[in-house]
Structure 1
Amino acid sequence: MRSFDVVIVGTGGIAGVHAGDYARLGGRAKVVAAVEVDADRLRGFSEKFEIPRTYSSLEQMLASEDPDVIDLCTPPGLHRDQALACLADSRTVLCEKPPALSLIELDDIAAAGGSFATISQHRFGSGAVNLRRMLAAGDLGRPMTAVCHTLWYRPDDYFRVPWRGKWELEGGGPTMGHGIHQMDLMLSILGPWREVVATAARQARPTATEDLSCAIVTFENGAMATVVNSLLSPRETSYLRFDFEHATVELEHLYGYQDKSWRITADPDRTQAWQAMPAGVSSGHSAQFAAVFDALEAKAPPPVTLPDARMTLELIAAIYASAFTGRSVRRGEIGPRSPFYQRMDGSGAPWERA
């Protein structure tokens, strides 16, 4: 297997996670450069992870480097323009989620063509892979209902970072920036959604965005899921439950899962089949990075593709649209004429209008 040269753009907290996981791939990847506007942070980051070259702007890096992958670890409000610049330079882009602030921004990226993938690391752990295999094989029966809860806690101080809690910079509250992890995993298992009805509120946090949303999602296969995204929950948990005809499969963790985070309730044969499946891969970024490099080596599109990411982003837009208009929203309904295609808050959140 060949080694891939990676450039990391942005050196905040998530960039450190990425750099550490690249280092754990046994030489499969080498971070050859980093980009950051804050000189002190850039210096500390490059020293910590032994990154040989640094740049203060994306433009400088593109003019000097020839990387295999550019990894965007910047705030969401920068993703669209940075992705377009990289794609115009014929680079493979790996982008943290959310990949864009809105559907129009994501469609702009898609229209540019090229190789673009979104970080959705929870899709790649052993438990998620095994669940999709058993479901595809028909071992679990038809999916009936699901629970998808992101119950996290963020104090007021969390929002002192300038881009947090603002529609024009973060794109939304917990529905967009936090619950996206679990909702994306849910969609990777249950498939395309059909319709959503939702509500959202700003209960306590000093933000322009919501700090709580609740939704009921109906899928094309007939399954129904309840979805809660919260930043108001002192006992934090990320909880998914899938009830199939012949089994219940549950996942409870916080920011990342291991095999022990999963539980199946089923007859002995199905339980034994679950326990016999390949194991040992957590939901850390390393698993997705390895899958990206495997795809590039095979000259295939790296996962997670733009259509995959759009399915998730469209569900988020529909949750906001339903919550702010008071009606159900169907997949495909939010088009260029909808204000929710342009911005996640559409024509404005109810509390803003009030």
Structure 2
Amino acid sequence: MRIVVSGYHGMGNLGDEAVLAAFIQELREIAPKVECVALSGDPARTESAYGIAAIPRTSISAILRELGRADLFVSGGGSLLQDVTGRGSVPYYAGLMLLARALGKPVSVYAQGVGPLNSWFSRWLACQALKRASVVTLRDPGSMELLREIGVDRPPPVLVADPAFALDPEDPGDSRSWLHEHPQVMFALRPWPGEDGREAGYARVIGRVSAETGARVALLAFQPETDLAMARRIRDLCDAGGWAHPDVVELRGSPGQALSVISHADLVVGMRLHSLIFAASAGVPAVAIDYDPKVRAMAERTSNAHVVSVDAPPEELIQAVLDAWRQRDEIRAELALGAADLRGQAREAARLALSP
């Protein structure tokens, strides 16, 4: 059997790499003889990281060749069918699904978070592609509801968990050098347009949190190409304000190593979705910064009550972080109860993806 899998792979985003890593991990357990080819922005890196074949994600000739040889096309996971980050996402990912069907190949939609779909064209095109899939699994109830709204009832969608919940931790490698024995709060922020002074606000939050908890603070760059410069600016603002000096950490290792890093935290403050998923998976309390519906949806799935809007004033985020810090022991106990179920759902998503 030969599978072609698409997603936002090889683009330097740790969350999307976690999805692929988890899929390959489960694939090797369920069907170790299956050949897998990934569409990637960096095929050489993808091949090296996962030991699979990879082709350029924008090469029509290579995609047609591999789809022609494939027995199954897997779309996902991640937030692929959405039109918030750009108008090209829905045409690209839905177009691949429709191309696979035109070539007579079954399509599995793997643990996706669908939406937002703001334009009529995005909704129509997503509907056409999803209706033609053999299997559709979704990672949150909001996506289930959106499919009902746009008219997708066949195949019946199945609610699962994000694939990263199935990921196994790995040795943290070079990151071990800054993992400390004393309490640690890890922030996983990302650039986001809007209010001026957002970075200065985060510096104030870090200063207060460090002063009131005694914890060391780290700024994790989940997607270094975009997050690292912001993390360094926040660190410099902390230094200029006389506040605690945070560590700035580039997460350039494997997703399993990043999961291991997160597991050493006492609290995570995350905008990056997979920082929150890793925290829940590892039983680490978290405060979610809600900049996109997927963040709130994941907070709801993990019963996380500590959610703050990205546009909230710093004082509101400070209060949420301190509240979570005080409650961290009972939050850990609650997370431990739900982690096994979410891991099981994530593993089931891979099994269903291979079932057509």
TM-score over 0.5 (shorter chain): no
Normalised by the size of structure 1, how large is the TM-score? 0.41
Normalised by the size of structure 2, how large is the TM-score? 0.41
From the two aligned structures, give the one with the greater helix fraction.
2
From the two aligned structures, give the one with the greater strand fraction.
1
